[in-house]
Amino acid sequence: MENNKKIQIFDTTLRDGEQSPGASIAPERKIIIARQLAKLGIDVIEPGFAVSSAGEFAAVQQISRELQQVEIAGFARAVKGDIDAAVRATADAARRRLHLFISSSDIHLSHQLRKSREEVIRIARDMVAYGKQFVDEIEFSAMDSTRSGRDFVIQLVEAVIEEGATIINLPDTLGYAMPDEMIELFRAVRKEARGGESVRYSAHCHNDLGMAVANSLAAIQGGATQIEVTVNGIGERAGNCSLEELVMAIETRRDHLKAETNIRIGEIYETSRIVSRTMNFPIAYNKPIVGRNAFQHESGIHQDGLLKNRNTYEIMDPEAMGISRSMIVLGKHSGSHAIKHRLSDFGIEPNDEQFKAIYTRFKEVADGQKIVTDNELIRIAGDMTKTQPDPYVLVDLLVHAGMQRARTATVTVRENGQGSEKSYMAMGAGPLEAVILAIQQAIPAAAEFEDLELHSLSTGEDAFGEAAVSVVYNGERFRGSSVHKDIILAAAQAYVSACNQALMSANAVRKPDQRQQTAN
C-alpha cells in the first residue's frame, strides 16, 4: 500500500503573485481567482496584504468570509499595525493563520532594516507573541533565509517557536539556493533548533535561477510539508514556484518523491487561464504544463510515435489537467498520417484522391508559414473536396481606426446554407472591439464571446500575428485561431472559426470527443 507524505499547497498568487511587474488585479476581482483556487483544492490561500490599502483589506475580508472550506493566511510584517489589520481582515474565516515575516540575512539587516541580529530576534519574539493572542496558528517566515547563515536562522527559529509559532517558512527570497543546500537547510533547522521537531515546515522559493520548483522539491526531501506557490509561477522578478509544475512533478514522479497533494488536477488548466486573463499576464508558449506548446508536437517522428502510443513522447496526459488541446501541431514537418488524423477529428474523411490533393496543398501552405491552423486545414479540405464545412465564411473586412474619428468595422459574411452575402457595421472603443461587435451581428446564433489573445509570431514589421478567440456555446468552449500579417483580420477569422466550430458541434459535424479542441 502506498504511504505517501501529504504536501499542503499554500497559494500566494493574490499576494506575492500580484507583486509581478505587469500582473495586476483590482482588489474586488480577487474573489474570482480565490473561488477557482478553492475549486482546485488549494489548502491555504494568502489573499493579499490587508494593511496596504482599504481595497486590499476588503478583498481579504471578502475571501475569508466566502471561502469557508479553505484556510486563509493573513499576511503581515512583524509590525503591530500589520498584524492588527491581518487579524481583523481574516476574522470571519472558518480556519485561518497569521503569516508573519522579518528578514534574517545580514545584507537585509544592515542595509534595509538597519537592525542588529539581537534586535531582529527580539522583534520576531514580540510580534509572534503579540499575534498569538489572536490566532493560534502562526506561520513565521525568515525572509532571505537561504542567504542568512544557518546558525542565525536556527537561533531565530528557536526564538519564534518558543513564542508559539507553529509553522516555519524558510524562503529562498532571491532564488539563490541550490537544491542540495535546501535539503540541508531544512534538515538542519528541523534537527538542531530547539522545538524544531514540534512544528511544520514550509518552503517559499523564487525562480531567479529557474530552480524554484527544484528547490521546493528539495525542501520536501528535507522535511517540508507545505510548499508556497503561485499559479503560472507569477511573482516578483522571475516569479515564484509554479503551482502547476510543482503539483505535476509530485503527481508524475510519485514513485520517486513518495508524496501527494490535495490538488484536483482536472482544474489546473482552467485555473491557469483564469489567472492569466484576470491578471492580464500572458503565459509563455513553452511554459511547462500550461503553455500553448506544452503538449504539442511538430516533428513528424514524434507525431508518428504519438499516434501509435501517446506514452512514446508524453509523460503526462494533458486531458487529465483539463487541457483538451490538440497534441499535434500541423506544420511543414507533419506527415500524412497526422493530417489524416486531424481531418478525421473534424469529421472529414476524404477519399485517397481527395487526400492527395489536400496533402499537396497543405505542404504548399506549410512551406510559406510555420504552422497551419485547423481553420486553414478545414478550408484546404473544403477547397479540395468541393465541400464547405464552415457555416459562415468571412468574405471581407473593412476597418477604420485612428485618433480623430470613430473606430468602425464592416464585415461581410456568406452564410453557406443561403449563399447570400451580407455586410454589417459596428463601432467600438477600438478596431478589434468594432470587429467583434460586427461579427456578432453577422452571426446572430453565435456563441458567447469569451476571450481574444493576440501574439506576434516573430519580430519585425512584417511579423505574422496569431489570434485565438474562445467562445462558449451550450456550456462548451470552442477556440478558433488564425495566423496573418494583418492581426485584425486574423482576429476576425479566428472569431468566425470559433463560431463555426460551435455551430458545427450543434449539428454534430464533429465528433463529440473533439469538442473544445483548440486550433493550432
H helix or E strand, kind and range, residue 483: strand 476-484
Q: Considering the complex, what minimum distance in angstroms separates the CB of residue 117 from ligand KIV?
A: 18
Q: Considering the complex, what minimum distance in angstroms separates the CB of residue 297 from ligand KIV?
A: 36
User: Among residues 37 and 241, whose Cβ is nearest to ligand KIV?
Assistant: 241
User: Among residues 169 and 326, whose Cβ is nearest to Zn ion?
Assistant: 169
The entry of ligand KIV, Zn ion, none near residue 431 (CB within 5 to 8 angstroms by kind) is none
User: Among residues 7 and 488, whose Cβ is nearest to ligand KIV?
Assistant: 7
> CA 246, CA 232: separation in Å to the nearest integer?
11
> CA 363, CA 332: separation in Å to the nearest integer?
6
The span of 8-16, 121-129, 373-381, 478-486 binding Zn ion (CB under 5 A) equals: 8-16
Q: Considering the complex, what minimum distance in angstroms separates the CB of residue 192 from ligand KIV?
A: 22
Give the three-class secondary structure for 310.
helix
The dihedral of CA 71, 75, 78, 84: what is its sign? Answer: negative
Nearest to 203 by CA among 179, 237, 238: 179
The entry of Zn ion, ligand KIV, none near residue 141 (CB within 5 to 8 angstroms by kind) is ligand KIV
User: Among residues 281 and 362, whose Cβ is nearest to Zn ion?
Assistant: 281
Give the three-class secondary structure for 39.
helix
The entry of Zn ion, ligand KIV, none near residue 86 (CB within 5 to 8 angstroms by kind) is none
What order of strands is seen across the sheet that includes strand 476-484?
Answer: 448-456, 465-473, 476-484
The entry of ligand KIV, Zn ion, none near residue 101 (CB within 5 to 8 angstroms by kind) is ligand KIV
Q: How many chain residues are in contact with Zn ion, going by CB under 5 A?
A: 1
The entry of ligand KIV, Zn ion, none near residue 143 (CB within 5 to 8 angstroms by kind) is ligand KIV
Residues 11-50: x where in contact with Zn ion by CB under 5 A, - otherwise, as a string: -----x----------------------------------
- Backbone Cα Rg of the chain: 27
The entry of Zn ion, ligand KIV, none near residue 325 (CB within 5 to 8 angstroms by kind) is none
User: Among residues 60 and 372, whose Cβ is nearest to ligand KIV?
Assistant: 60
Give the three-class secondary structure for 82.
helix
The entry of ligand KIV, Zn ion, none near residue 278 (CB within 5 to 8 angstroms by kind) is none
DSSP calls for 372-409? --HHHHHHHHHHHHT----SEEEEEEEEE--SSS-EEE
Q: Considering the complex, what minimum distance in angstroms separates the CB of residue 509 from Zn ion?
A: 49
User: Among residues 101 and 478, whose Cβ is nearest to ligand KIV?
Assistant: 101
Q: Considering the complex, what minimum distance in angstroms separates the CB of residue 83 from Zn ion?
A: 19
Q: Considering the complex, what minimum distance in angstroms separates the CB of residue 205 from ligand KIV?
A: 8
One-letter identity of residue 471: V
Q: Considering the complex, what minimum distance in angstroms separates the CB of residue 49 from ligand KIV?
A: 10
> CA 443, CA 446: separation in Å to the nearest integer?
5
Phi and psi at 473, nearest 5°, equal -140, 125
Residues forming contacts to ligand KIV in the complex (CB under 6 A) are 16, 101, 141, 143, 171, 173, 204, 206
Residue 429: all three cell numbers together = 472603443
User: Among residues 16 and 466, whose Cβ is nearest to ligand KIV?
Assistant: 16
Q: Considering the complex, what minimum distance in angstroms separates the CB of residue 256 from Zn ion?
A: 27
H helix or E strand, kind and range, residue 216: helix 212-222
Give the three-class secondary structure for 435.
helix
User: Among residues 173 and 278, whose Cβ is nearest to ligand KIV?
Assistant: 173
User: Among residues 154 and 229, whose Cβ is nearest to ligand KIV?
Assistant: 229
The entry of Zn ion, ligand KIV, none near residue 478 (CB within 5 to 8 angstroms by kind) is none
- For residue 144, state whether it binds Zn ion (rule: CB under 5 A): no
Nearest to 245 by CA among 261, 258, 224, 256: 261
What order of strands is seen across the sheet that includes strand 392-400?
Answer: 392-400, 407-415, 421-428
Q: Considering the complex, what minimum distance in angstroms separates the CB of residue 228 from Zn ion?
A: 8
Q: Considering the complex, what minimum distance in angstroms separates the CB of residue 236 from ligand KIV?
A: 7
User: Among residues 121 and 487, whose Cβ is nearest to ligand KIV?
Assistant: 121
Residues 483/457, Cβ–Cβ less than 8 Å: yes
Phi and psi at 226, nearest 5°, equal -135, 140
> CA 132, CA 98: separation in Å to the nearest integer?
9
CA dihedral 217, 166, 195, 128 (to 10 degrees): 120
Residue 64: all three cell numbers together = 475569508
State the helix-helix crossing angle for 336-345 and 374-385, rounded to 10 degrees: 90
Burial (CB count <10 Å: 0-12, 13-18, 19+), residue 314: middle
Q: Considering the complex, what minimum distance in angstroms separates the CB of residue 274 from ligand KIV?
A: 22
Nearest to 468 by CA among 518, 429, 424: 518
What separation in angstroms does the CA of 400 have from each of 396, 429, 464, 466? 14, 12, 21, 21
Q: Considering the complex, what minimum distance in angstroms separates the CB of residue 196 from ligand KIV?
A: 19
> CA 441, CA 444: separation in Å to the nearest integer?
5
Give the three-class secondary structure for 36.
helix
User: Among residues 16 and 46, whose Cβ is nearest to Zn ion?
Assistant: 16
User: Among residues 71 and 228, whose Cβ is nearest to Zn ion?
Assistant: 228
Q: What are the residues binding Zn ion (CB under 5 A)?
A: 16
